[in-house]
C-alpha cells in the first residue's frame, strides 16, 4: 500500500500529533507498506494569515493526491487530520481509488460545544471573533470530512459515540485508536523509588483546557502543607515567564520549567518526578499520559474523554472530576501521604502500558483497517 498522512503540523516529531502519526506509521512501514507525509512545510501558503488560510492546506492536500493519481502513482490510503478533511473527503471521486481516512485527535465539534457549555468558565469560552469565524471555517470542514470519508480513526470512546450519533455513521466506520510511548520511558520503571516523593509533574501545553488554573490553585494549597514540594512543568509551549506569571510570586521559586526533546530528555524528566498530574477538561487521549504510565509514575487526572478509557480509578491511577480544585488537591494529597498507594497505582500503570500501549500494539488496528479498505 501507498499511504499519505496529511496533518497540518511540522514534519519534525516534536508535538503529540506528529509523534502519534509518525510512530504508528513507522510500524505500518515495517509491515511492508510505504508512508509519505504531507505536512505544514509542504504547503507554506497554508500558514499565511487571513480568512482563507484555513482552506489553503486542505486544498493543497487535494491537489497533491490528484497529482499522484495523474502521475500513475496513486495513494491507496489518504489519512487526513479532521480539520483539513473536507476537500479530499467530499471530492474523493477525483482522486481515483484512494480511500480517505479521517483521523480525529479530539472531535472538533464536541470540543467546541464543551467550550460553550454552561460549566465552562468565562476564560474557556471563545471570544466573539472566534464564534463567528471558527464554525464557518474549521468546524464546517471537520464536519464535512467526518460525514463523507471512508473511515474514521478517533482517540476516545466518547468521540466514537458522538460521531455515530451526530454524523449518523455506523460503528463499523469508526476505529478507536490509542497513542503509545517508546520503551525508553519504561527503562527505569523497575528502579523507581516510591518511598520518596517531593515533586509533581505537569507535562504538555500550558493551556486553559488542560486545567492549568485548577492546577495552580491546588498547588497553592499543597505547598502550604508540604514545604519541600516542588512542581515541574515540562514542555509548556510557552515562555517560562508566562508560566511563572500564572503562579503567586511566593511560589515561583518552587517551580521548574523544563524543555526537553523526545524521547530521551522527556523520559529523564519523568524518571525524576514523583506524581504526574493532568487536570484537563477535554482531550483525545494524551500522549503524555502514556509516557507517564510507561515510566511507572502514579497518576492523578480527570475523568474525561480518552483519559477515563485508560485510567481505572484506584487501580492504575486516581480520577477526579474536571474543574474541582478540592478533589484534585485531595487526590494529590492522598498520594503524597501514602507511598504504598503510589507504588500500587504506578506499577499497575506501567504494567498496562507494557502490554497495551506499545507502538506495535496500537498500530495493529490501523494496519488492519487499511488492509480491509483496499481489498
The Cα angle at residue 178 between residues 177 and 183, in degrees rounded to 5: 140
What average pLDDT does the segment 357-371 reach?
97
Q: What is the CATH number of domain 183-356?
A: 3.40.50.2000
pLDDT confidence band for 122 (50 / 70 / 90): confident
pLDDT for res 45: 66
* Rounded CA separation 362/356 (Å): 7
Q: What is the CATH number of domain 2-180+359-373?
A: 3.40.50.2000
pLDDT for res 143: 96
pLDDT for res 305: 85
CATH topology match: 2-180+359-373 vs 183-356: yes
Q: What is the pLDDT of residues 131-173, one digit of tens each?
A: 999 998 999 999 999 999 999 999 999 999 999 999 999 999 9
In the chain, where are the structural domains located?
Answer: 2-180+359-373, 183-356
pLDDT for res 153: 98
Helices (H), the chain: 16-30, 53-70, 86-90, 108-116, 128-134, 140-148, 157-167, 212-225, 240-245, 264-271, 287-295, 307-310, 325-337, 339-356, 359-373
pTM (2 decimals)?
0.92
What average pLDDT does the segment 203-227 reach?
96
* Rounded CA separation 307/303 (Å): 6
What is residue 98's DSSP assignment?
P
Largest CA distance in the chain: 68
Q: What is the pLDDT of residues 54-72, one digit of tens each?
A: 889 999 999 999 999 999 9
pLDDT for res 46: 57
Amino acid at each position: 500500500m501507498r499511504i499519505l498522512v496529511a496533518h497540518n503540523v511540522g514534519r519534525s516529531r516534536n508535538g503529540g500529533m506528529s509523534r502519534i502519526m509518525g510512530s504508528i506509521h513507522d510500524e505500518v512501514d515495517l509491515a511492508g507498506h510505504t508512508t509519505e507525509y504531507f505536512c505544514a512545510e509542504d504547503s507554506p501558503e497554508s500558514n499565511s494569515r487571513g480568512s482563507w488560510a484555513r482552506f489553503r492546506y486542505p486544498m493543497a492536500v487535494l491537489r497533491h493526491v490528484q497529482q499522484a493519481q495523474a502521475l500513475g502513482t496513486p495513494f491507496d490510503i489518504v489519512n487526513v487530520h479532521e480539520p483539513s478533511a473536507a476537500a479530499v473527503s467530499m471530492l474523493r471521486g477525483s482522486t481515483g481509488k484512494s480511500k480517505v481516512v479521517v483521523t480525529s485527535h479530539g472531535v472538533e465539534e464536541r470540543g467546541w460545544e464543551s467550550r460553550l457549555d454552561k460549566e465552562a468558565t468565562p476564560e474557556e469560552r471563545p471570544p466573539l471573533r472566534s464564534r463567528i469565524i471558527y464554525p464557518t471555517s474549521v468546524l464546517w470542514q471537520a464536519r464535512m470530512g467526518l460525514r463523507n470519508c471512508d473511515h474514521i480513526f478517533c482517540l476516545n470512546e466518547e468521540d466514537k459515540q458522538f460521531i455515530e450519533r451526530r454524523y449518523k455513521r455506523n460503528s463499523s466506520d469508526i476505529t478507536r485508536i490509542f497513542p503509545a510511548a517508546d520503551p525508553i520511558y519504561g527503562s527505569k520503571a523497575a528502579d523507581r523509588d516510591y518511598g520518596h516523593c517531593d515533586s509533581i509533574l505537569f507535562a504538555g501545553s500550558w493551556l486553559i483546557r488542560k486545567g492549568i488554573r485548577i492546577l495552580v490553585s491546588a498547588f497553592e494549597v499543597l505547598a502550604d502543607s508540604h514545604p519541600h514540594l516542588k512542581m515541574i512543568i515540562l514542555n509548556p509551549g510557552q515562555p517560562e515567564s508566562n508560566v511563572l506569571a500564572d503562579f503567586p510570586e511566593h511560589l515561583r521559586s518552587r517551580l521548574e520549567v523544563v524543555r526537553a526533546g523526545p524521547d530521551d530528555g522527556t523520559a529523564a524528566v519523568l524518571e525524576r518526578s514523583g506524581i504526574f498530574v493532568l487536570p484537563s477538561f477535554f482531550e483525545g487521549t494524551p500522549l503524555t499520559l502514556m509516557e507517564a504510565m510507561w515510566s511507572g509514575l502514579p497518576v492523578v487526572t480527570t475523568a474525561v474523554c480518552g483519559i477515563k478509557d485508560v485510567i481505572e480509578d484506584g487501580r492504575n491511577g486516581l480520577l477526579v472530576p474536571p474543574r474541582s480544585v478540592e478533589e484534585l488537591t485531595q487526590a494529590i494529597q492522598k498520594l503524597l501521604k501514602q507511598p504504598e498507594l503510589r507504588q500500587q497505582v504506578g506499577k499497575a500503570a506501567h504494567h498496562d502500558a507494557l502490554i497495551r500501549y506499545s507502538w506495535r500494539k496500537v498500530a495493529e488496528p490501523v494496519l488492519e483497517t487499511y488492509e480491509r479498505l483496499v481489498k
